[in-house]
Structure 1
Amino acid sequence: MATTATSSLPSGIVKYEDYQAQQKAKPTNENMGQTEFLTLFTTQLKNQNPLDPVKNEAFVAQLAQFSQLEATTAMKTSMQNLVSSLANDRLLGATSLIGKTVGVPDGPVMVTDTTVSQGVVNAPT
């Protein structure tokens, strides 16, 4: 009776080729998220040297840095959404002027379908 090479290996041990196939099948996440940070953080706590433990201030500083990074990332996303929303509002505001006469203090400009209108606006600081 033929047996596979995998069944003759002790439990939990895989062939190198199988390991490579498993690694290729896993989605790669190059960013450290909250779950990965907390896993690393708790592992660091569990495996620290009991005769020379890491000071509490160092752990608090690491947590504060990670919290600040998360807040900055969330703020970046919020700002991107705000910029997108403002661009859409500006476009909608400009479309409301189609077909209307717009006046500026320096003088009138006539816009028709067949001519190109040009003008200069001096905006003081």
Structure 2
Amino acid sequence: MIDTAAYLNDVNKRDLPKTPKKELDRDAFLKLFVTQLNNQDPMSPMQDKEQLAQLAQFSSLERLTAISKSMDGLTQTVNAVIGVTATGYIGKNIMAKGYSVAKKGDDVSSASINLPASCKSVFVDVFDKKGALIRSVDMGPRNAGQFDFKWDGMDKDKKKAADNEYRIVVRAETATGKKVLADIEVSGKVKALTNSGGQSFLELEDGRKVLLSNVTRVVA
């Protein structure tokens, strides 16, 4: 006696449609091309131009696949080398392109500001994480070049600001009133190396993070 339930289950399994592939891969392309040749109308065969166009597409697909595999391997190798190299920053003081400074107690991290032109007025504005202006420091007139900046940790009411991470923005103008865009570097001691979103970051002892690619120098 046939087990009806088992039989129907077997039929259902055999009749289930296979999940279609989202992309036309190499094997599927070849099968489709051969099938197309076998089933073409003898009275109206596929033109040479059509065959060449399809074969050109296949050739491009093969080259792109090979390039993709090569790039994946190269990316893995580069990331491994970067990881090994970046560990050498741990425990060292670095300067990196950025805008953040950290305050903890009386200790505030320093920054270096580089002006591309001489300016009659230079202000360094300090903002908290919410974007509120905490302090505006008047640096006076400055010649073109680099100078160090270290916020004293006081707010505009001459009170100690809370321990936290802050952002600095430079406002500078020349004698003719032309606004000048300054380059800013921030400092810190590296504690660890982290990776996020395919990018490498250096984690500083005060909790800030800087892109590894933004590091400009190691300082004593």
TM bucket (normalised to shorter chain) is 0.5 to 0.7
1:69-84 correspondence to structure 2 within 5 Å: 69-84=61-76
Hey, what does 2:26 align to over in structure 1?
34
C-alpha deviation, 1:61, in angstroms = 1.1
Structure 2 vs 1, CA of residues 47 and 94 (structure 1 numbering), >3 Å: closer, same or farther?
same
C-alpha deviation, 1:116, in angstroms = 3.9
User: How much is the aligned-residue C-alpha RMSD, in angstroms?
Assistant: 4.0
C-alpha deviation, 1:70, in angstroms = 2.4
C-alpha deviation, 1:74, in angstroms = 2.5
Hey, what does 1:93 align to over in structure 2?
85
Contact 2:40 2:46 in 1 (8 A): yes
Contact 1:48 1:54 in 2 (8 A): yes
Structure 2 vs 1, CA of residues 43 and 110 (structure 1 numbering), >3 Å: closer, same or farther?
closer
Distance 1:37 1:67 in 2: 11
Write the letter of the residue equivalent to 2:43: L
1:1-125 correspondence to structure 2 within 5 Å: 2=1, 18=11, 20-24=12-16, 28=19, 30=21, 31-99=23-91, 111=189, 116=206
> Relative to structure 2, which stretch is displaced further, 90-99 or 57-66?
90-99
Contact 1:110 1:117 in 2 (8 A): no
Structure 2 vs 1, CA of residues 45 and 70 (structure 1 numbering), >3 Å: closer, same or farther?
same
Which protein is richer in strand relative to its size? 2
Higher relative contact order (CA 8 A, sep 6+): 2
Write the letter of the residue equivalent to 1:89: V
Structure 2 SS opposite 1:96: helix
TM-score, normalised relative to structure 2: 0.37
Number of matched pairs:
105
**Percentage of identical aligned residues:** 30
Gaps of 5+ in 2: 97-145, 149-186, 192-204, 209-213
Distance 1:57 1:44 in 2: 15
Write the letter of the residue equivalent to 2:57: Q
C-alpha deviation, 1:73, in angstroms = 2.4
Which protein is richer in helix relative to its size? 1
Hey, what does 2:177 align to over in structure 1?
none
C-alpha deviation, 1:32, in angstroms = 2.7
C-alpha deviation, 1:24, in angstroms = 3.9
C-alpha deviation, 1:23, in angstroms = 4.7
Distance 1:94 1:88 in 2: 10
